[in-house]
């Protein structure tokens, strides 16, 4: 019988679901079924994630028999280590060009039946208005990427340049977890505040500056960073 492959990466797509849920409620006491009940990951995977989080020093597991639970004890180190591992370039990006100044509104209309979410400056600006940019970055969830993107391009007259563009469709590395945490801002779907921070942090230009400003704004408003 083949030996089960040992789980190793806390920051993989499905494993990160546990981290994201815990960061949303950092003072809560957690049990394994809190994560498996989402339907997005198994009890076994949730248990392995918690075990590795304990080894890494992110959580403490309080053992009380059937009443055992876990608590998040070092969220700062957890996010710092996540940033060391994750870069926005882990996503796959298709870039196109439109001269239309109202292209974001037209994208919204064209994508109304589709799961999508803004990120980077175009998402964070809806909270901060911090960086002036004409570039639009949005995650798209679709089973047939090439066919769907081609249809959107044709509908909106998007041009493919030799290099660059201002409309960036992102095939997400975090296929499961990103679309489980969408927020609506000014009637646009945007990734979670945590994902905005992760995406921005190593991004150029001005990504880290915007990430830290976003964090400051959210803390000042008393809103959840994660």
Task: Read off the pLDDT of each residue in 74-81 and give the average, rounded to a whole number.
Answer: 97
Q: Under a CB-based contact definition with an 8 Å cutoff, are residues 18 and 46 in contact?
A: yes
Q: Domain with 73 in it: what CATH number?
A: 1.10.10.10
Q: In the predicted model, is pLDDT for residue 48 greater than 80? A: yes
pLDDT above 70 covers what percent of the chain? Answer: 97
Residue ending a domain, choose from 27, 60, 80:
80
Structure confidence at residue 65 (pLDDT): 78
Q: Is residue 4 part of a domain?
A: no
Structure confidence at residue 40 (pLDDT): 79
Task: Read off the pLDDT of each residue in 10-24 and give the average, rounded to a whole number.
Answer: 95
Q: Do residue 36 and residue 104 come from a single domain?
A: no
Q: Do residue 25 and residue 71 come from a single domain?
A: yes
Distance in angstroms (rounded) separating the CA atoms of residues 36 and 27 = 19
Q: Do residue 72 and residue 102 come from a single domain?
A: no
Structure confidence at residue 89 (pLDDT): 97
Q: Do residue 76 and residue 185 come from a single domain?
A: no
Q: Domain with 201 in it: what CATH number?
A: 3.30.460
Q: Do residue 45 and residue 20 come from a single domain?
A: yes
Which of 68 and 83 is assigned the larger pLDDT? 83
Distance in angstroms (rounded) separating the CA atoms of residues 132 and 189 = 20
Q: Do residue 116 and residue 30 come from a single domain?
A: no
- Angstrom distances, CA of residue 94 to CA of 22, 123, 140, 183: 32, 18, 11, 23
Using pLDDT thresholds of 50, 70 and 90, give the confidence band for residue 104: very high
Note the pLDDT tens digit of each residue in 115-171.
999 999 999 999 999 999 999 999 999 999 999 999 999 999 999 998 999 999 999
Mean pLDDT of the chain: 93
Q: In the predicted model, is pLDDT for residue 4 greater than 60? A: no
User: Can you give the length of the chain in residues?
Assistant: 226
* pTM to 2 decimal places: 0.93
Q: Is residue 43 part of a domain?
A: yes
Q: In the predicted model, is pLDDT for residue 113 greater than 60? A: yes
Q: Do residue 69 and residue 176 come from a single domain?
A: no
Residue ending a domain, choose from 44, 63, 80:
80
Q: Do residue 215 and residue 105 come from a single domain?
A: yes
Structure confidence at residue 39 (pLDDT): 78
- Angstrom distances, CA of residue 196 to CA of 23, 83, 193, 220: 14, 12, 5, 17
Q: Do residue 137 and residue 202 come from a single domain?
A: yes
Q: In the predicted model, is pLDDT for residue 51 greater than 80? A: yes
Task: Read off the pLDDT of each residue in 91-99 and give the average, rounded to a whole number.
Answer: 97
Please state the domain count of the chain: 2
Q: Do residue 58 and residue 116 come from a single domain?
A: no
Q: Is residue 7 part of a domain?
A: no
Q: Do residue 103 and residue 123 come from a single domain?
A: yes
- Residue ranges with strand state E in 76-177: 92-96, 115-118, 136-141, 167-171
Q: Is residue 190 part of a domain?
A: yes
What residues make up the domain containing 195? 88-221
Task: Read off the pLDDT of each residue in 93-116 and give the average, rounded to a whole number.
Answer: 95
Residue ending a domain, choose from 61, 80, 99:
80
């Amino acid at each position: 019988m083949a030996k089960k492959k040992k789980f190793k990466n806390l920051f993989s797509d499905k494993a990160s679901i546990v981290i994201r849920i815990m960061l949303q409620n950092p003072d809560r006491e957690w049990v394994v079924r809190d994560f498996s009940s989402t339907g997005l990951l198994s009890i076994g995977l949730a248990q392995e994630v918690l075990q590795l989080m304990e080894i890494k020093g992110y959580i403490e597991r309080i053992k009380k028999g059937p009443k055992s639970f876990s608590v998040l004890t070092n969220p700062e180190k957890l996010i710092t280590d996540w940033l060391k591992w994750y870069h926005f370039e882990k996503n796959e990006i298709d870039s196109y060009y439109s001269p239309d100044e109202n292209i974001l509104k037209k994208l919204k209309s064209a994508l109304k039946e589709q799961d999508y979410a803004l990120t980077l400056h175009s998402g964070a600006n809806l909270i901060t208005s911090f960086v002036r940019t004409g570039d639009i970055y949005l995650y798209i969830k679709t089973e047939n990427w090439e066919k769907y993107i081609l249809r959107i391009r044709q509908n909106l007259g998007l041009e493919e340049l030799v290099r660059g563009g201002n409309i960036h469709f992102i095939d997400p590395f975090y296929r499961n977890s990103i679309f489980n945490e969408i927020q609506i801002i000014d009637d646009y779907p945007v990734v979670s505040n945590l994902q905005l921070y992760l995406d921005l942090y190593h991004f150029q230009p001005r990504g880290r500056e915007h990430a830290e400003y976003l964090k400051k704004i959210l803390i000042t408003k008393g809103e959840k960073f994660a």
